[in-house]
């Protein structure tokens, strides 16, 4: 736990002075006040995250955490567990959806095996396996608390390594057949919403399988009785290795002042866990899109995040994050390249403010 506690102590609140300086710049661009909408909010928050009035997100990466789930034994997915490994190979061949979208966005893709059952990994996969898949959470804990913490540490290390390489924004992705089941279970525990309201179709299961999936989640919660006030306990009992790893990425990135773009319901569950561990990390998060998975809206509402895109997606992998990265970069391009009223010799319509954003009388 030492590394985790150290990282939590390093997560700072947003830099208010930098945010006010950025707001002043945004308000003096040659446009009506507020007319760039949420792009203005993005630029201002990035200034607060980085502590700079000239933030950059040009160096982008997407981390795809991969893990397997013992709960697939309960028939919760439309696909067999072997698909996890097949998709990892697809990522390495640069031929999955996230690869296409990441390439378009100019982002690196890092594929991490944090907990698959594979023994022979495709070349290029980053090997950080904590254990070969989780146990069946419908019968007992998915993993031990020590393993959950170890998975969080993997994510922290990944974020730190990318920050050391100069990565300025991290998108989150995942792969693990069956992982909407632990994500839904975690969301139910953290938010106290009924399981049937949270449970979605994941890989596309039918009505009968959906009802059975909800019962599996209810049984897992009843058997394990995770403590909603202890996020590590929730991760260990009804979570997943890739979910814990992604929570670690969020915490590690926040400690390094690197913004994080979450994807769909699985990365959302990871974000909720990270938020319960350290609430300050929420300020470093951007919600890329709203998934059609019902748990996702509940997660985003709980986090107080507004999705940038509404595209009825439910793929995962980091595809939503990849699509949102250019939107986030566009916000900074506008701020850095647009002229100001001062440049044109025109009085600004914005009220004059001091360095703390207070109106000057």
The residues annotated with a catalytic role in the active site are: 317
**Cα dihedral value 105, 108, 113, 117, nearest 10:** 50
Q: Which helix (H) or strand (E) holds 126?
A: strand 126-127
291: tokens are: 């998934």
Tell me the CA distances in angstroms from 140 to 69, 117, 181, 187, 320, one per residue in order.
Answer: 13, 19, 14, 18, 33
Strand-by-strand arrangement of the 107-115 sheet: 126-127, 107-115, 60-67, 169-175, 260-262, 285-287
Decide: helix, strand or coil at residue 24.
helix
Task: Give the integer Cα–Cα distance in Å for 140 and 149.
Answer: 18
Q: How far apart are CA 258 and CA 11, in angstroms?
A: 11
Could you tell me which of 326, 315, 328 has the C-alpha nearest to residue 97? 315
Q: How far is CA 205 from the centre of its chain?
A: 24
């Amino acid at each position: 736990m030492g590394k985790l506690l150290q990282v939590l102590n390093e997560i700072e609140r947003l830099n208010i002075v930098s945010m006010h300086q950025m707001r002043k710049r945004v308000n003096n661009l040659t446009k009506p006040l507020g007319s760039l909408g949420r792009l203005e909010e993005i630029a201002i928050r990035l200034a607060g995250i980085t502590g700079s009035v000239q933030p950059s997100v040009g160096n982008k990466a997407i981390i795809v955490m991969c893990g397997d789930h013992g709960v697939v034994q309960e028939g919760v997915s439309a696909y067999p567990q072997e698909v996890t490994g097949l998709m990892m190979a697809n990522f390495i061949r640069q031929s999955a959806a996230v690869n296409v979208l990441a390439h378009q966005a100019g982002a690196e893709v890092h594929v991490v095996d944090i907990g698959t059952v594979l023994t022979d990994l495709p070349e290029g996969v980053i090997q950080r396996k904590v254990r070969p898949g989780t146990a069946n959470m419908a019968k007992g804990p998915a993993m031990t608390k020590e393993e959950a913490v170890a998975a969080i540490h993997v994510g922290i290390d990944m974020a730190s390594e990318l920050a050391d390489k100069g990565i300025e924004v991290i998108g989150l992705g995942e792969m693990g057949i069956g992982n909407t089941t632990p994500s839904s279970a975690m969301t139910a525990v953290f938010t106290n919403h009924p399981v049937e309201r949270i449970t979605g179709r994941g890989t596309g299961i039918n009505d009968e399988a959906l009802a059975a999936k909800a019962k599996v989640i209810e049984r897992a919660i009843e058997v394990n009785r995770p403590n909603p006030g202890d996020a590590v306990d929730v991760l260990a009992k009804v979570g997943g290795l890739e979910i814990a790893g992604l929570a670690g990425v969020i915490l590690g990135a926040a400690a390094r002042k690197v913004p994080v773009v979450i994807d769909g319901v699985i990365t959302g569950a990871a974000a909720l866990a990270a938020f319960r561990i350290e609430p300050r990390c929420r300020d470093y998060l951007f919600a890329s899109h709203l998934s059609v998975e019902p748990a996702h809206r509940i997660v985003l509402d709980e986090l107080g995040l507004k999705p940038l895109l509404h595209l009825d997606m439910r793929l995962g992998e980091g595809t939503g994050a990849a699509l949102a990265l250019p939107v986030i970069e566009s916000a900074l391009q506008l701020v850095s390249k647009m002229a100001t009223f001062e440049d044109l010799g025109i009085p600004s319509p914005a009220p004059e403010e001091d360095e703390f954003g207070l109106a000057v009388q």
